[in-house]
Structures are given as structure tokens and as C-alpha cells.
Amino acid sequence: MAFSQPNGMVKRFNRTLAAEWAYAEKYLSDEVRSATYQSWLYHYNRHRSKPESAASRVGIPTSPGIAFSSRINHHPRRQGAPCPG
């Protein structure tokens, strides 16, 4: 399913939006709540600490400049295998 990851990301954002902005505190009206949305979104995009990704927990390099071939050649089952790149 090609759209499962983006769909999951949207669901997670909507869950965070509800928990941290829409229902985080009582607002006097919908207009008052709506007036705080832009500042909350700025905080979400710029200052909120992001959850640790699965890739960083297992040590997978995520920078585009890191070559993966050196990690592949040191795998115990691939000793002596030629370098793919």
C-alpha cells in the first residue's frame, strides 16, 4: 500500500493537533481557539521536540552523505563479499 506512511503521518499530526492545541485547554469560543492556531503551528514546526525516529534508535544512518556500502560489507554473513559500490 503506497499511501500507508503518509496516511499514518497525517493521523499522527491530527492526534497531536487535538491533544496539544484544540483540546489542551478551555477556550471561550471557537474564534478565540482559532486565533491561537498559527502560533501553535509555528511552535509545532519550529520548536517542539520531535519523537525519536526508529532509524535513530537502531543506528541506521539517515544523512544522505553517508555511504551504506561500508555497513553492508561489515555484516557477519557477508564477510568477503565484494563492495557493491
What is the DSSP secondary-structure string of 12-65?
HHHHHHIIIIITTS--SSHHHHHHTHHHHHHHHHHTSPPPPPHHHHHT---STT
Give the model's pLDDT for residue 23. Answer: 92
Give the model's pLDDT for residue 29. Answer: 94
Average pLDDT value for residue range 11-21: 93
The residue among 31 and 53 whose pLDDT is bigger is 31
Q: pTM to 2 decimals? A: 0.51
